[in-house]
């Protein structure tokens, strides 16, 4: 029995040391806290455009394996586009869902429909939708930041609006794993 206790303690010490290391290098992230801060930062722009913002963030949420600065910039870019392209009086929702292996963050805005044939193209450098202002850098950077974590950013769109979805793992992806 004593041997099992010792092994258990060694495992706990190992996990604690691993957690401290990942926190020290900034790879453990509370995505909900990051999203809440980004929404607060964009609040003046949302109010100015009379946009209704609804964060649907879980009070209890697991940390994810992600670089804080990259994810902050990716989220900032998504909220920037939402503020820019959602018509006055429209809706923006930031939703978080927890799955067995990942946390999913969705930024939805009630902007106009993005045709299916243009959804992949908008993530390219200097690509914009016809008739929309912008430089074509924000979504390209968001894609790059998410792919740097071994994941993909997805966009869907219909007459009600456009959700952008980021799925981040609770732990680092296996080296050589195919992004989902």
Summarize the confidence of residues 79-90 as an average pLDDT: 90
10 located within any domain: no
Q: What would the pLDDT profile of 140-172 be if each residue is shown by its tens digit?
A: 889 888 888 778 899 998 888 899 999 888 765
- To the nearest whole number, what is the mean pLDDT of the chain? 78
Structural domain for 93, as ranges:
28-169
| Number of domains composing the chain | 1
pTM for this model (two decimals): 0.77
4 located within any domain: no
According to DSSP, the residues that pair with 165 across neighbouring strands are: 106, 154
Q: Give me the residue label for tokens 């769109």.
A: 157
174 located within any domain: no
Exposure class string for 153-168: b at 16+ Cβ within 10 A, else e: bbbebeeebbbbbbbb
155 located within any domain: yes
Q: How confident is the model at residue 106 (pLDDT cuts 50, 70, 90)?
A: very high
Which CATH number fits the domain that encloses residue 95? 3.30.565.10
- The pLDDT of residue 7 is 45
16 located within any domain: no
In contact, 101 and 169? CB cutoff 8 Å: yes
Q: How confident is the model at residue 39 (pLDDT cuts 50, 70, 90)?
A: very high
Backbone phi, psi, residue 102, to 5°: -155, 165
8 located within any domain: no
């Amino acid at each position: 029995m004593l041997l099992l206790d010792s092994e258990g303690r060694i495992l706990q010490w190992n996990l604690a040391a691993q957690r401290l290391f990942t926190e020290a290098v900034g790879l453990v992230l509370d995505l909900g806290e990051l999203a809440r801060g980004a929404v607060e930062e964009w609040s003046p722009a949302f109010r100015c455009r009379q946009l209704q913002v609804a964060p649907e963030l879980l009070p209890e949420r697991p940390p994810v394996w992600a670089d804080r600065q990259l994810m902050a910039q990716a989220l900032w870019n998504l909220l920037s586009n939402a503020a820019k392209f959602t018509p006055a009086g429209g809706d923006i929702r930031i939703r978080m869902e927890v799955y067995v292996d990942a946390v999913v963050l969705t930024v939805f805005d009630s902007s106009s429909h993005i045709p299916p044939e243009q959804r992949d193209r908008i993530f390219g450098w200097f690509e914009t939708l016809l008739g929309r202002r912008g430089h074509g850098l924000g979504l390209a950077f968001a894609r790059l930041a998410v792919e740097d974590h071994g994941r993909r950013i997805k966009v869907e769109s219909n007459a009600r609006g456009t959700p952008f979805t980021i799925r981040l793992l609770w732990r680092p992806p296996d080296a050589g794993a195919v992004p989902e």
